[in-house]
Structure 1
Amino acid sequence: MSQPFDLLVIGGGINGVGIARDASGRGLRVLLCERGDLAEHTSSASTKLIHGGLRYLEQYEFRLVREALTERERLMRLAPHIIWPLRFVLPHDAGLRPAWMLRLGLFLYDHLARLKALPRSEALRFDRTGVGAPLQQRLTRGFAYSDCWVEDSRLVVLNALDAAERGAEIRTRTTVESARREAGGWTVTLYDAERRQRESVRARVVVNAAGPWVGETLLRTLAVEARPKVRLIKGSHIVVRRLYDGDQAYILQQPDRRIVFAIPYERDFTLIGTTDVAHEGGPGPVRISSEETRYLCACINRSFERQIGPDDVVWSFSGLRPLYDDAAANASAVTRDYVLELDREGPPVLSVFGGKITTYRRLAEHALEKLTPHLPDMKAAWTGGAPLPGGDMAGADFDRFVETLSADYPFLPAATARRLARAYGTRAGHVLGDARAPSDLGEIFGGDLTAREVDYLVRHEWARASDDILWRRSKLGLHMDREGVARLGRYLAAAPVGSVAQRP
Structure 2
Amino acid sequence: MLASNPQTVPPDARVDLLIVGGGVNGTGIARDAVGRGASVMLVEKDDLAGHTSSASTKLIHGGLRYLEYYEFRLVREALIERERLLKIAPHIIWPIRFVLPHSKLVRPAWLLRLGLFLYDHLCPRMTLPKTESVRFDRHISGRAIRDDYARGFIYSDARVLDSRLVVLNAMDARDRGADIRTHTRLVGATRHADHWEAVIEDADGARQTVHARILVNAAGPWVADMLHNTLKLQTSKNVRLVKGSHIVVPRLYDGDHAYILQNPDKRIVFAIPYEQDFTMIGTTDIPFESDPNRVEIDADETRYLCDSVSRYFRTPVKPDDVVWAWSGVRPLYDDAAKDASAVTRDYVLDVDTSGGAAILSIFGGKITTFRKLAEHAIEKLAPLMPVLGKPSWTGTQPLPGGDLGAGGFDGAVARLRTQAGFLDQATAERLVRSYGSCAYLIVGDAATRETMGEDFGAGLTAREIDYLMAQEWVRCADDLLWRRSKLGLHIAPEQAARVEAYIAQRRQSGVPAQPASTGTLSAA
TM over 0.5: yes
Give the C-alpha shift of residue 499 in structure 1: 4.1
- The residue type equivalent to 1:174 in the other structure is T
Give the C-alpha shift of residue 502 in structure 1: 4.2
- The residue type equivalent to 2:55 in the other structure is A
| Structure 1 partner of 2:227 | 218
Give the C-alpha shift of residue 284 in structure 1: 2.1
Give the C-alpha shift of residue 503 in structure 1: 7.3
Structure 1 gap segments, 5+ residues each: none
Q: In the alignment, which of 367, 371, 379 is matched to residue 381 of structure 2?
A: 371
Match status 1:439 vs 2:450: yes
| Structure 2 partner of 1:204 | 213
| Structure 1 partner of 2:7 | none
Secondary structure at the residue paired with 2:325? strand
Secondary structure at the residue paired with 1:495? helix
| Structure 2 partner of 1:327 | 336
User: TM-score scaled to structure 2, two decimals?
Assistant: 0.95
Secondary structure at the residue paired with 1:271? strand
Q: Which moved more, 1:113-122 or 1:472-481?
A: 113-122
> 1: distance between equivalents of 2:363 and 2:517?
32
| Structure 1 partner of 2:402 | 391
| Structure 1 partner of 2:514 | 500
How many residues matched?
Answer: 503
Secondary structure at the residue paired with 1:39? coil
Q: In the alignment, which of 452, 458, 481 is matched to residue 492 of structure 2?
A: 481
| Structure 1 partner of 2:68 | 58
Q: In the alignment, which of 117, 129, 147 is matched to residue 137 of structure 1?
A: 147
- The residue type equivalent to 1:425 in the other structure is G
| Structure 2 partner of 1:455 | 466
Q: In the alignment, which of 7, 14, 21 is matched to residue 31 of structure 2?
A: 21
Match status 1:428 vs 2:439: yes
| Structure 2 partner of 1:234 | 243
Q: In the alignment, which of 187, 205, 216 is matched to residue 197 of structure 2?
A: 187
Structure 2 gap segments, 5+ residues each: 1-10, 519-524
- The residue type equivalent to 2:338 in the other structure is A
- The residue type equivalent to 1:400 in the other structure is G
Give the C-alpha shift of residue 416 in structure 1: 0.2
Q: Which moved more, 1:210-219 or 1:376-385?
A: 376-385
Question: Are 2:475 and 2:513, in contact at CA under 8 Å, matched by a contact in 1?
Answer: no
- The residue type equivalent to 1:373 in the other structure is P
Please tell me the root mean square deviation across aligned C-alpha atoms, in Å: 1.1
Secondary structure at the residue paired with 2:116? helix
| Structure 2 partner of 1:35 | 45
Match status 1:344 vs 2:358: no
> 1: distance between equivalents of 2:237 and 2:468?
37
> 1: distance between equivalents of 2:187 and 2:362?
19
> 2: distance between equivalents of 1:490 and 1:394?
37
Counting only pairs closer than 5 Å after superposition, residues 101-140 of structure 1 correspond to structure 2 as 101-140=111-150
Give the C-alpha shift of residue 498 in structure 1: 1.2
> 2: distance between equivalents of 1:269 and 1:3?
47
Question: Are 1:9 and 1:208, in contact at CA under 8 Å, matched by a contact in 2?
Answer: yes
Give the C-alpha shift of residue 196 in structure 1: 2.4
Question: Are 2:179 and 2:517, in contact at CA under 8 Å, matched by a contact in 1?
Answer: no
- The residue type equivalent to 2:459 in the other structure is D
> 1: distance between equivalents of 2:425 and 2:94?
19
Question: Are 1:77 and 1:396, in contact at CA under 8 Å, matched by a contact in 2?
Answer: no
- The residue type equivalent to 2:347 in the other structure is Y
Counting only pairs closer than 5 Å after superposition, residues 272-351 of structure 1 correspond to structure 2 as 272-345=281-354, 346-351=356-361
Counting only pairs closer than 5 Å after superposition, residues 164-179 of structure 1 correspond to structure 2 as 164-179=174-189
> 2: distance between equivalents of 1:459 and 1:397?
27
- The residue type equivalent to 1:251 in the other structure is I
Counting only pairs closer than 5 Å after superposition, residues 243-282 of structure 1 correspond to structure 2 as 243-282=252-291
Question: Are 1:24 and 1:167, in contact at CA under 8 Å, matched by a contact in 2?
Answer: yes
Secondary structure at the residue paired with 1:58? helix
Match status 1:75 vs 2:85: yes
Question: Are 2:406 and 2:412, in contact at CA under 8 Å, matched by a contact in 1?
Answer: no
| Structure 1 partner of 2:413 | 402
| Structure 2 partner of 1:356 | 366
Give the C-alpha shift of residue 184 in structure 1: 2.1
| Structure 1 partner of 2:4 | none
Moved over 4 A (4+): none
Give the C-alpha shift of residue 2 in structure 1: 3.3
Match status 1:465 vs 2:454: no
Structure 1 residues 317 and 344, CA, compared in 2 at 3 Å: closer, same or farther?
same
> 1: distance between equivalents of 2:158 and 2:345?
18
Give the C-alpha shift of residue 395 in structure 1: 5.6
Higher relative contact order (CA 8 A, sep 6+): 2
